[in-house]
Amino acid sequence: MIGLQFRGLVSRLSACMAALVLAAMLAGCSGSSEELTCPAAAPAPDLDAVAIFAPGAGTDNASIQAAGKIFDVSRQCEQEKGGILINSLITVNAIRLAPQVSRAEYVYFVAVVDSTRNILNEQRFTLDAQFGNQDFRTYVEKISVHLPLQHVSAGDGYAIIVGFQLTPEQLEFNRAHKQQS
């Protein structure tokens, strides 16, 4: 249980750090007080890729059976009663590296954060990638989020962060490979 709580905490902390970076990019996009502004949207740094290792194997390149990469996060916003409806398209590239793998599950989260890095809403989703006779697949997930706001012009004070739910070993693997790049 503690391990699961730690993983969730690491994921939330990483999403919050990403929000800090995004908050700096969220400067002055609104015009009049009633002009709709849409939150920024981006993959979370270090959580935008996942390596799925063979059960009982190590965490080296040779042990990877499948991998995923959040390639793009786009969004469109519309005003609705009580706030903003954010429709996000999340593009995930899935690849299998071991021919015996016919499917892989990619668990990812979509979080709404404010400019002070508070997570206001976080939802988890599972993408079930079916490879069939292909080693590479691209999936586009459509996720809708309601952001309750009294003034829709305040939307640029928030961000949508998307990332994979990683184990501590997967997070360490990502960070080690980012440093090598």
For 29-96, the three-class secondary structure string (H helix, E strand, C coil) is CCCCCCCCCCCEEEECCCCCEEEEECCCCCCCHHHEEEEEEEEEEEEEEEEECCEEEEEEEEEEEEEE
| Cα–Cα dist 15/137, whole Å | 26
Residue 2 has a pLDDT of 39
Residue 179 has a pLDDT of 64
Measured in whole angstroms, the distance separating CA 143 from the mean position of its chain's CA atoms is: 11
pLDDT digits (tens, 9 = 90+) for 40-83: 999 999 999 999 999 888 888 999 999 999 999 999 999 999 99
Q: And the tokens for 18?
A: 């990403």
Q: Are 117 and 1 in contact (CB under 8 A)?
A: no
Mean of the per-residue pLDDT values for the chain?
Answer: 84
Cα 163-168-170 angle, rounded to 5 deg: 60
Residue 59 has a pLDDT of 87
Placement of tokens 């519309």 in the chain: 78
Question: What are the backbone dihedrals phi and psi of residue 101, each rounded to the nearest 5 degrees, phi first?
Answer: -80, 115
**Domain residue spans in the chain?**
2-180
Closest of 178, 155, 169, 150 to residue 26, by C-alpha: 155
pLDDT digits (tens, 9 = 90+) for 93-149: 999 999 999 999 999 999 999 999 899 999 999 999 999 999 999 999 999 999 999
Closest of 181, 178, 172, 179 to residue 53, by C-alpha: 172
Residue 16 has a pLDDT of 44
